[in-house]
Amino acid sequence: MASGRQLFCRIITPERMVYDGEAEMVKVRIADGDIGVMADHQPIVSTVGIRDVQVVKEGDEREVFAVSDGFFKVSENLVQILVEEAVAASDIDSDAAENDVEEADRELSELSGDDEETQRLREELERRRLIGENMALVARRYGE
Amino acid sequence: MASIRDLKRQINSVRNQSRVFSALQTVSAVKFRKAEARVKKARPYADNVEEMMREVAAKTTSKTPMMVGRGEVNRVAIASLTSDRGLCGGFNSQVLRRTMRLREEKGRDALQVASGRKSVSFFRFRGVEIADEFTGHTDTPNYEDAREIGRKLTQLFEDEEADEVYLVFNRFESALTQRPVVKKLLPIADDDDGDDENNDRERDDENKSDVPFEFVNSAEEILGKLVPRYVETMVWQALLEGSTGEHGARMTAMQSATDNANELADTLTLQMNKARQAQITQELLEIVGGTEALASN
């Protein structure tokens, strides 16, 4: 890196720190599209979408994580990604992920009515479905 | 005086109890260590969500009710976190006592949310109406549980059922001490009504958060998503600390129960020995008396 300064990345979930280490670049989908953060990036705060986060390390080696929605912050060469769920591509249980999708689908089809409570439940299930789909996708694309 | 047989029976039963207490203590000790590790691992997330909350809030001019409140407080909501199971000393009662005091201060029509079977049964017994209850998770809480509770609380605020939301839980200090604290969750901007000391820390690093962040798309939009997440996170942290405290309290309670049972068994053994001694002496006296009577004939 020209700047000579090192970028660090942390992916943090409510349960634990999933990634904590150096990075050349971090690719994330934030509120207005994909972003690739390198050292000396300007401070920024945004939201993260249900997608993958790629941590590119020296020598183009990369680690990919499937994440749920959450928050994103860059300041002083530290990228912080705060999400409810983050799983390394190689650790994803695709069967479980696909099961989640099917289950969410089934429950969604059983939902009827559009009162507030049902609406909330529907949103929640759709989110679960998206997370499951994303997990399966990331596993297919980057797992192994 | 109790007969030797009765005493023997009592001693056996006390010793058995002592064994049960001691086993419970061992189990609690293991659970306690696990729970403590979880709290530590979870801290970075909670700290960062809190920090982000402050940074974004400082840069926004939005005066949403979530941030600045509604001006007038008609009714508050209180969520009390206790355990599902007992046998943990004063762990639950101190949270519940604190809750009742808060209810006195904030008006008795306060909406009560109960987490943990102990609080549910307490409020039922006291005739406090429960707005919503959550049970079965306090031993090893999952984030999903915190989400459910957090959502309910945010919802109560959004639907204008409550104008302030408080959380009462046991802050974990050590296996020996858990301190009941009140934390004000909503609205965010606060005049510190709670008695949670963590607020001091916030002031310390306020100067450092002066970096001009760019907000994508806007601070308001981020805030809208961040506030519910913040509430969930605070509940999550409280649930984790609560479960650690619960196991710690049970460990301590079972330790003293074991000690007490052992002490009682010792006392009873002493009594039994005395009784046996007395019986032997009695028998000897009878024999001696008998032989003397025979001899004098």
DSSP letter for each residue of B188-200: SS----S--TTHH
For the CA atoms of chain B, what is the radius of gyration?
A: 28
Other CB atoms within 10 Å distance of the CB of residue A121: 15
pLDDT in the model for residue B1: 55
Top residue of A8, A13, A15 to mutate, by most chain B CBs within 10 Å, is A15
Other CB atoms within 10 Å distance of the CB of residue B220: 15
Instruction: Please state, in angstroms and rounded to a whole number, the distance separating the CA atoms of residues B66 and B157.
Output: 8
Residue at token pair 């005493």: B7
pLDDT in the model for residue B133: 93
Nearest by CB to residue B45, choosing from A14, A73, A120, is: A14
Rounded to two decimals, what is the model's pTM? 0.87
pLDDT in the model for residue B176: 83
CA distance A34 to chain B (A): 12
Residue at token pair 């308001």: B220
Rounded to 5 degrees, what are φ and ψ at A142? -120, -15
In the sheet where B164-172 sits, what is the strand order? B130-134, B111-115, B76-81, B164-172, B178-186
Of B291, B185, B272, B230, the residue nearest B6 (C-alpha): B272
Residues 121-140 of A with CB under 8 A from B: none
User: First vs last Cα of chain B: how many Å apart?
Assistant: 36
pLDDT over 70 percentage in chain B: 92
Q: Is the dihedral of CA B118, B123, B124, B130 positive or negative?
A: negative
Contact B44 A17 (CB under 8 A): yes
Instruction: Give the pLDDT confidence of A100-142 residue by residue, as tens digits.
Output: 999 999 999 888 877 888 888 888 899 999 999 999 999 999 8
Q: Are A71 and B49 in contact (CB under 8 A)?
A: yes
Instruction: Give the pLDDT confidence of B174-225 residue by residue, as tens digits.
Output: 888 889 999 999 898 754 555 655 544 444 444 444 567 888 888 888 988 9
- Which residues in chain A touch residue B141, judged by CB atoms under 8 angstroms apart? none
Structural domains present in chain B: 4-21+253-291 (1.10.287), 28-252 (3.40.1380.10)
Q: CB within 8 A of B120, min separation 6: which ones?
A: B114, B130, B133, B135
Instruction: Please state, in angstroms and rounded to a whole number, the distance separating the CA atoms of residues B114 and B288.
Output: 72
pLDDT beneath 70: ranges in chain B: 1-2, 190-211
Burial of residue B204, with CB atoms counted within 10 A of its CB: 0-12 exposed, 13-18 middle, 19 or more buried: exposed
pLDDT in the model for residue A81: 96
pLDDT in the model for residue B233: 95
pLDDT in the model for residue B200: 44
Q: Are B84 and B138 in contact (CB under 8 A)?
A: yes
Q: How many residues does chain B have?
A: 297
- Which residues in chain B touch residue A31, judged by CB atoms under 8 angstroms apart? 216-217, 221-222
List strand residue ranges (DSSP E) for A24-115, in order: 25-30, 33-38, 44-48, 51-56, 62-67, 70-75, 78-83, 86-88
Of A109, A99, A107, the residue nearest A136 (C-alpha): A99
Decide if A32 touches B, using CB distance below 8 A: yes
- Both tokens assigned to B19: 């064994």
Burial of residue B45, with CB atoms counted within 10 A of its CB: 0-12 exposed, 13-18 middle, 19 or more buried: buried
Q: What DSSP state is assigned to residue B21?
A: H
pLDDT in the model for residue B211: 61
Residues 69-108 of A with CB under 8 A from B: 70-71, 73, 75-76, 80, 82, 84
pLDDT in the model for residue B236: 96
H-helix segments, chain B: 4-59, 65-68, 91-106, 117-126, 143-158, 199-204, 219-296
pLDDT in the model for residue B107: 84
Contact B222 A71 (CB under 8 A): yes
pLDDT in the model for residue B205: 45
Tell me how many residue pairs between chain A and chain B have CB atoms under 8 A apart.
73
Contact B48 A13 (CB under 8 A): no
pLDDT in the model for residue A121: 87
